[in-house]
């Protein structure tokens, strides 16, 4: 039987908190399964310092309160990232989290960075996928029994459409695991377009870009494939093999998600489909929305959830494919099904 996907639309005068309350009410039997006294990890992302499009702590707090009502012991967590910014180490990351309202006082539970101060808690786990034979994730993954994944739906320059699969596959990997996934992405400079403005040089987290003969030059032996230079360049001078490189990245992210989730007993996934921009929560700032605010989705099947959410957002047109240079999300759905991450079929229950 196809897995259930709950959907509460943001319609009329319904505010976001009330919308989420309705979803949590529907999820009561699922939340009860976590059991009394059980520790439950809530995977969330706070976005970067200037970023205003992220799931607000007030919504996460509602989830915390509901889990506490079920006598569970929740905590919120994220991992460090490979980009330049305030989330490369746990000290800056936590300071930013507190600034943005993700403090224990405001959430009602601890907020932790799971892969340690410098992101070095990274255990190798053997897997058997087409692309990867090993993944790297924080040791938390081997011991956590209960997980709620709270994902903000966004566009993404490499992934096209990003929601729960991205939040788990990339977001729950350690920094080394993130690098491993990105290593298929090899940007190059289109010299005729480069005006040597320096933006890509400044943003590269590993100084792989320098000026050479009045043009930017990427040392591919140093490049991590993070893709930051692609979004930094406003002159269309940084490019990749969009479909090929991005598809491999999407497959690796699905492989990570599959390996990580197979180690966790009880899981619930939530997609918050509002404030959806072309760029993800690391970059979007106050960018305009590319689709109308939609609502909140929940399921125990991560693929069914992402697919149902995408289908509803794309009833009129695939805004994600229109905005990005790739249709990677469509490739990822099929690949995720092929490796057993979840179901492409779903039973949509409108609340
Ligand atoms: S951001 Fe673009 S235009 Fe500026 S230096 Fe880099 S490649 Fe050249
Ligand atoms: S060259 Fe571009 S893709 Fe490579 S590490 Fe630097 S910013 Fe990231």
Is residue 23's pLDDT more than 90?
A: yes
Residue with tokens 């709620």: 148
Q: What is the mean pLDDT of residues 58-63?
A: 96
* Lowest pLDDT segment from 44-58, 100-114, 274-288: 274-288
Top mutation candidate among 210, 229, 245, 283 for ligand 2, by most atoms within 8 Å of CB: 229
Q: What is the pTM of this model?
A: 0.88
CA of 201 to the centre of ligand 1 (A): 8
Comma-separated ranges of CATH 3.30.70.20 domains in the chain: 188-239
pLDDT for the residue 323: 66
List the structure tokens of 2.
């196809």
| 233 vs 199: CA distance, rounded Å | 7
* Class of the CATH-defined domain 4-182+242-350: alpha beta
The verdict on the CB of residue 204 being under 6 Å from ligand 1 is: no
| Residue whose CA lies nearest to ligand 1 atom number 6 | 200
Question: CA of 76: how far to CAs of 43, 117, 134, 207, in Å?
Answer: 6, 16, 26, 32
- CB-CB contact of 152 with 170 (8 Å): no
Q: How do beta strands 111-113 and 134-137 pair?
A: unpaired
* pLDDT tens for each residue of 275-331: 888 777 665 566 778 888 899 999 999 999 999 999 999 988 887 777 666 678 899
Tell me which of 3.30.70.20, 3.90.100.10, 3.40.50.620, 3.30.365.10 is the CATH number of domain 188-239: 3.30.70.20
The backbone torsions φ and ψ at residue 202, rounded to the nearest 5 degrees and listed phi first, read: -70, -35
The residue assigned the tokens 């808690």 is 121
Q: Quick one: 316 exposed, middle or buried, by C-beta within 10 A (0-12, 13-18, 19+)?
A: exposed
Q: What are phi and psi of 208, to 5 degrees?
A: -85, -10
């Amino acid at each position: 039987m196809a897995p259930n996907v709950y959907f509460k639309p943001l319609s009329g005068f319904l505010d976001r908190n009330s919308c989420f309350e309705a979803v949590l009410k529907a999820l009561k039997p699922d939340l009860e399964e976590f059991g009394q006294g059980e520790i439950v990890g809530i995977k969330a992302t706070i976005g970067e310092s200037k970023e205003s499009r992220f799931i607000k702590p007030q919504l996460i707090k509602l989830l915390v309160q509901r889990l506490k009502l079920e006598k569970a012991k929740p905590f919120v967590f994220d991992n460090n990232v490979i980009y330049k910014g305030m989330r490369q180490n746990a000290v800056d990351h936590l300071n930013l989290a507190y600034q943005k309202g993700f403090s224990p006082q405001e959430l009602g539970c601890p907020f932790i960075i799971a892969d340690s101060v410098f992101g070095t808690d990274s255990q190798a786990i053997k897997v058997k996928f087409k692309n990867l034979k090993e993944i790297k994730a924080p040791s938390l993954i081997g011991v956590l029994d209960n997980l709620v994944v709270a994902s903000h739906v966004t566009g993404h320059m490499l992934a096209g459409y990003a929601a729960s699969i991205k939040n788990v596959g990339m977001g729950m990997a350690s920094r080394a695991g993130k690098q491993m996934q990105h290593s298929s992405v090899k940007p190059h400079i289109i010299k005729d377009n480069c005006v040597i403005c320096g933006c890509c040089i400044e943003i590269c987290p590993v100084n792989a870009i320098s000026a050479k003969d009045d043009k930017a030059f990427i040392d591919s032996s140093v490049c991590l494939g993070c893709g930051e230079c692609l979004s930094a360049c406003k002159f269309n001078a940084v490019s990749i093999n969009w479909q090929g490189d991005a598809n491999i990245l999407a497959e690796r992210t699905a492989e990570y998600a599959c390996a990580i989730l197979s180690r966790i007993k009880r899981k619930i996934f939530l997609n918050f489909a509002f404030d959806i921009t072309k760029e993800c929560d690391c970059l979007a700032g106050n960018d305009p929305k590319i689709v109308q605010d939609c609502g909140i989705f929940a399921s125990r099947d991560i693929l069914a959830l992402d697919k149902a959410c995408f289908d509803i957002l794309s009833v009129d047109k695939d805004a994600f494919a229109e905005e990005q240079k790739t249709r990677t999300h469509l490739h990822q759905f099929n690949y995720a099904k092929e490796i057993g991450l979840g179901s492409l079929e779903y039973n949509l229950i409108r609340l």
